[in-house]
């Protein structure tokens, strides 16, 4: 079904009049979701022009432009977004507009590398897309909730369009409020959504961008050139899980494994950005780790809970987190890639992984994997030639010396080293508690985990089947 241009039924003045009408109708602050792509740029430019035509005394309501940096964005895009936000902030002040810009990032504990390398989460897939909530949704939610707490209610402006897909149109129609330009937010009762581009088609977006001067001083033809070079479309600010993955023909996270290929990064490399090749190779390594034949070679047969489970309605073991050997090896590859993009790319200080993430990964490895020798710091120094100062944690002085002693004691007594390490950390964590007896609950949980090795998988599987069959008798 062909959708007609919005300009067949409305003039540009009617569209900007609507924006001004909605803006002046109440005191609820606006939060504009800006991704740096064509749709959000078109929406922001429309709003900017509309509000700038109001008398100064009517331009009082706050407008917050927010962009999301997942810390694993396509480097070309994150560079453009950061520069654009800086330029917008200066231009808004100069033009006396109530606009401020904000870059939202995930908390370190939720970052991609902390989850994948620290906790051992497998590369995201359509069945386990753990990244979207942690890297995108939570950040926008946090900002929205802060403004709702401050003002009581807020309006989120999004560049979504009904012609993007049938499911997108259906979802937008579902939340519409009859007789209002606003829609209900999918999660927050005190938040509303305004979509000024709802009836635009793709041609309308580009026509508007190329025929109207950018108000903060950017050149929209540069944006067009970026799209042409990458053969890509926009990765929107994500506010719910209905938003599709951005890794296929969209600008999105360079590590995205939810899709088969990252066409945008391949196109950028083909158009001369050779320095990005190590990123494409790393992404392929993660994609390859999803091969069913490789899973139990590189992933633990136990879940993160410490237990062994079957996949639904099968006798197949559900693979758990990545094994430590895989995590350490991939960290090395990541740091080699960082060395390469710094040497050959546009930014000699470009980070593929932050130092704060390295500290958090090391903390998790110490607590969960008994890595007292600080492998993260050793790997970092080995690959980069630079040392990171460890964050001092009082772990009873445990170091690689104690690690060697523990290894020998556990080996001579045929006890899993990780079991003893976890028990020691449980005791350490419970020191200073008002009721030290709570440590017994932790100890009981640790001892109840599966501590037999993979060599005994047949016995473990047989026991699991027997327990499952016993439960079925009583259903």
Q: pLDDT (tens digit, 9 = 90+) per residue, 312-350? A: 878 888 899 999 999 999 999 999 999 999 999 999 999
Cα separation, 219 vs 227, whole angstroms:
13
Distances (CA, A) of 90 to 85, 215, 217, 409, 453: 9, 12, 10, 63, 60
Degrees (nearest 5) of the Cα angle 163, 26, 180?
35
Q: Please check whether residue 302 is in contact with residue 120, taking contact to mean a CB–CB distance below 8 angstroms.
A: no
Q: Phi and psi (nearest 5°) for 67?
A: -125, 150
Q: Tokens standing for 122?
A: 């497998």
Question: Residue-wise pLDDT tens for the chain (475 aa)?
Answer: 578 899 999 999 999 999 999 999 999 999 999 988 899 999 999 999 999 999 999 999 999 999 989 999 888 778 888 899 999 999 999 999 999 999 999 999 999 999 999 999 999 998 889 998 899 889 889 999 999 999 999 999 999 998 877 777 777 777 788 888 998 988 888 899 999 999 999 999 999 999 999 999 999 988 888 777 655 544 444 444 444 444 334 457 899 998 888 888 888 888 899 999 999 999 999 999 999 888 889 999 999 998 999 888 788 888 999 999 999 999 999 999 999 999 999 999 999 999 999 999 999 998 889 888 899 999 999 999 999 988 765 444 567 787 788 888 888 888 888 888 888 878 877 776 666 677 888 899 989 898 898 889 999 999 888 888 887 777 6
Of the chain, the end-to-end C-alpha distance in Å amounts to 50
Q: Which residues of 209-226 are buried (b: 16+ CB within 10 A; e: fewer)?
A: beeeebbbebebeebeeb
Q: What is the pTM of this model?
A: 0.83
Structure tokens at 52: 């700038």
**Beta strands across the sheet bearing 99-104:** 99-104, 63-68, 30-33, 154-157, 191-194, 182-184
Instruction: With H, G, I as helix, E, B as strand and everything else as coil, classify residue 285.
Output: helix
Q: How far apart are CA 248 and CA 197, in angstroms?
A: 23
Q: What is the pLDDT of residue 246?
A: 41
Q: Which helix (H) or strand (E) holds 266?
A: helix 263-270
Q: What is the pLDDT at residue 435?
A: 66
**Confidence (pLDDT) at 378:** 95
Helix axes 220-230, 263-270, angle to 10 degrees: 100
Contact 400, 385 (CB under 8 A): no
Measured CA to CA, the distance from residue 430 to residue 420 in angstroms comes to 16
Residues in the chain: 475
Q: How far apart are CA 172 and CA 236, in angstroms?
A: 15
């Amino acid at each position: 079904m062909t959708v007609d241009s919005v300009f067949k039924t409305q003039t540009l003045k009617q569209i900007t009049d609507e924006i001004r009408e909605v803006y002046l109708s109440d005191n609820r602050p606006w939060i504009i979701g800006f991704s740096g792509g064509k749709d959000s740029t078109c929406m922001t430019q429309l709003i900017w022009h509309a509000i700038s035509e109001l008398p100064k005394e009517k331009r009082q309501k706050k407008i917050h432009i927010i962009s999301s940096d997942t810390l694993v964005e396509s480097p070309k895009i994150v560079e453009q977004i950061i520069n654009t936000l800086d330029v917008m902030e200066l231009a808004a002040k100069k033009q006396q507009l109530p606009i401020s810009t904000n870059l939202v990032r995930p908390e370190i504990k939720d970052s991609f590398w902390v989850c994948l390398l620290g906790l051992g989460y497998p590369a995201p897939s359509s069945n386990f897309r753990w990244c979207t909530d942690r890297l995108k949704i939570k950040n926008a939610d946090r900002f929205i909730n802060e403004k709702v707490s401050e003002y009581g209610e807020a309006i989120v402006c999004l560049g979504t369009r009904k012609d993007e897909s049938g499911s997108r149109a259906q979802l937008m129609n579902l939340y519409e409020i009859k007789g209002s330009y606003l829609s209900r937010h999918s999660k927050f009762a005190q938040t509303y959504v305004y979509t000024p581009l709802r009836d635009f088609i793709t041609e309308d977006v580009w026509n508007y961008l190329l025929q109207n001067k950018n108000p903060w001083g950017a050149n929209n033809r540069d944006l067009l050139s970026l799209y042409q070079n990458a053969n890509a479309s926009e990765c929107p600010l994500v506010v719910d899980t209905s938003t599709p993955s951005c890794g296929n023909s969209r600008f999105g996270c360079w590590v995205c494994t939810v899709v088969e290929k990252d066409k945008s990064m391949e196109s950028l490399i083909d158009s001369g950005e050779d320095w990005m090749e190590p990123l494409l190779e790393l992404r392929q390594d993660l994609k390859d780790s999803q091969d069913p034949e490789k899973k139990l070679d590189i992933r633990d047969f136990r879940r993160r809970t410490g237990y062994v489970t079957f996949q639904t309605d099968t006798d197949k073991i559900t693979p758990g987190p990545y094994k430590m050997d895989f995590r350490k090896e991939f960290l090395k590859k990541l740091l080699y890639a960082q060395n390469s993009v710094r040497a050959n790319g546009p930014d000699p200080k470009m980070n593929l992984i932050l130092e704060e993430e390295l500290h958090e990964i090391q903390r998790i490895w110490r607590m969960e994997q008994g890595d007292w020798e600080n492998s993260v710091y050793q790997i970092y120094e080995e690959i980069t030639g630079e040392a990171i100062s460890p964050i001092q944690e009082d772990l009873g002085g445990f170091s690689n010396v104690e690690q060697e002693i523990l290894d020998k004691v556990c080996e001579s007594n045929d006890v899993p080293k990780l079991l003893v390490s976890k028990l020691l950390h449980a005791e350490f964590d419970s020191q200073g508690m008002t009721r030290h007896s709570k440590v017994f609950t932790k100890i009981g949980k640790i001892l109840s985990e599966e501590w037999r090795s993979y060599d005994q998988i047949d016995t473990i599987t047989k026991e699991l089947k027997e327990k499952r069959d016993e439960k079925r008798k009583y259903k």
